[in-house]
Amino acid sequence: MTLILPDRYSPVLDLMETQLAIKELKDHFERILAATLRLTRVSAPLFVLPETGLNDDLSGTERPVSFGIGEDNDRPCQVVQSLAKWKRAALADYGFAAGTGLYTDMNAIRRDEETDNLHSLYVDQWDWEKVIGREDRSEEYLKETVRCIYRAFVSAQGHINALFPKLHSKLPNEIAFISSQELLDLYPDKTPKERENAFLREHGAACITQIGWPLSDGKPHDGRAPDYDDWDLNADILFYNEILDCAYEISSMGIRVDERSMPLQLKAAGCMERMERTYHKDLMAGRLPLTIGGGIGQSRLCMFYLEKAHIGEVQASVWPEQEKTACREHGIRLL
């Protein structure tokens, strides 16, 4: 995605209204999400030791931010890129029962991100994870969880629109489901992003499932790390962003890998050496629970509901000078 500069853009809320709305929106959505999915808030790390295997490798190409621990002979440590693996280990440590789980505020730095309207070097999201039974590792359980989360999105929309009447409703009552292969079949001549844009313009909100394995054209819909989501049981939740006229990913989630699916995906990705890490050994030995989980972008949620054209209008980060100048000239005020 390149920087989009909407014509005649003018923010609906001023700076102070925006800050008040961000607080209201985050507080309300967090409460609804926790109650809906039976989640308890816990504290989470900002950095981890690389040898634990707990850091998220994302699509496998992103470089984590690293530093040396001064009091430990500069022992290397990494800022987290997400908490996908840490959460699963934490569920075991805390002893959560099946049907319950945790959520946390995740803050990360993604140094290789190419910034634009939706992407920042700074990432803030609600990371959540829930213990499930073996019988819950199914497409239907995944879809029902997506529906629960979507109801929280609709609730948050109603809450913030009532407090700030200048904002207007955007989401449909129901979310549409489609697999990545079905999306390719529907739009065979389009790129993955063009497929998402076309489908979201029609449906308003959608859940795209089964992301990671190569499709019938020999290419995956999108990259996925091979050792947290099960590529047969994962999903992206997207909205249609009217201001930017594009599909807008708000959450990536899925039923996590088990002792059968993880080796298959590691082999397919050429990453079998990860099996020697602590996290992977624990999973294969049955010391980690079966789980479902995901991340929900906090700034993206605020950007969408508050009708902002750039994520930098709802979070403070660092932007290239050229991007800051272009935004300023088009009425987009970055924090």
Active site residue 252: yes
Say what the pLDDT of residue 144 is: 97
Read off the pLDDT of residues 197-244 as tens digits, 9 standing for 90 and up.
999 999 999 999 999 999 999 999 998 889 989 999 999 999 999 999
Confidence (pLDDT) at 278: 86
- Per residue in 74-125, pLDDT tens? 899 988 887 888 898 899 999 999 999 999 999 888 888 888 999 999 999 9
Domain that holds residue 164: 15-66+73-329
Q: Is the pLDDT of residue 63 over 90?
A: no
Q: What is the pLDDT of residue 1?
A: 60
Instruction: Identify the pLDDT of residue 183.
Output: 98
Indicate the SS3 state at residue 86. helix
Q: In the annotation, is 258 catalytic?
A: no
In the predicted structure, residue 326 carries a pLDDT above the cut 70: yes
Q: Which residue among 249, 258, 307, 313 is the active-site one?
A: 249
Q: Is residue 239 situated within a structural domain?
A: yes
How many C-beta atoms surround the C-beta of residue 10 within 10 A?
Answer: 8
Beta strands (DSSP E) in 16-57 are: 39-41, 47-48
277 neighbors 271 (Cβ within 8 angstroms): no
Domain assignment present for residue 95? The answer is yes
Q: Which of 33, 165, 47, 171 is nearest to 109 (CA)?
A: 47
**Is 269 inside a domain boundary?**
yes
Of the residues 127, 129, 230, 236, only one is catalytic, namely: 236
**pLDDT the model gives residue 125:** 93
* 7 is a domain residue: no
Residue in 30, 82, 110, 251 annotated catalytic: 110
pTM for the full predicted model: 0.91
Buried b (16+ CB within 10 A) or exposed e, 219-246: ebbbebbbbbbbbbbbbbbbbbbebbeb
**pLDDT score for 60:** 64
- Residue 315 annotated among the catalytic residues of the structure: no
> What residue has token string 């449906």?
203
Q: How many helices (H) does the chain have, and how many strands (E)?
A: 9, 11
Catalytic residue among 120, 210, 252, 299: 252
Quick check: is 125 catalytic? Answer: yes
Classify residue 81: in a domain, yes or no. yes
Of residues 30, 56, 57, 313, which has the active-site annotation? 56
pLDDT in tens, 168-205: 878 999 999 999 999 999 999 999 999 999 999 999 99
- The rounded distance, in Å, linking the Cα atoms of 296 and 106 is 10
The total number of structural domains in the chain stands at 1
pLDDT value of position 169: 75
Q: Is residue 251 part of a domain?
A: yes
The burial of 134, by beta-carbon neighbours within 10 Å (0-12 exposed, 13-18 middle, 19 or more buried), is given as exposed
Say if 190 falls within a structural domain. Answer: yes
Residue 110 annotated among the catalytic residues of the structure: yes
Residue from 237, 180, 239 nearest 212 by CA: 180
Provide the pLDDT for residue 89: 87
Q: What is the pLDDT of residue 53?
A: 76
> 224 an active-site residue?
no
Per-residue confidence band for 167, with pLDDT thresholds at 50, 70 and 90: very high
251-307 pLDDT, tens digit per residue, is 999 999 999 999 999 999 999 999 998 889 999 999 999 999 999 999 999 999 999
pLDDT given for residue 223 in this prediction:
87
Of 7-11, 55-59, 270-274, the one with minimum mean pLDDT is 55-59
CA distance 335 to 303: 13
Looking up residue 116, the CATH number of its domain turns out to be 3.30.930.10
Residues 314, 22 contacting (CB under 8 angstroms): yes
Please compute Rg for the chain using Cα positions: 20
Q: Does residue 236 belong to any structural domain of this protein?
A: yes
* Residue tagged active-site, from 125, 180, 265, 315: 125
Q: Which residue has the tokens 């629960």?
A: 148
Residues in the chain: 335
Residue 213 to residue 183: CA distance in whole angstroms: 14
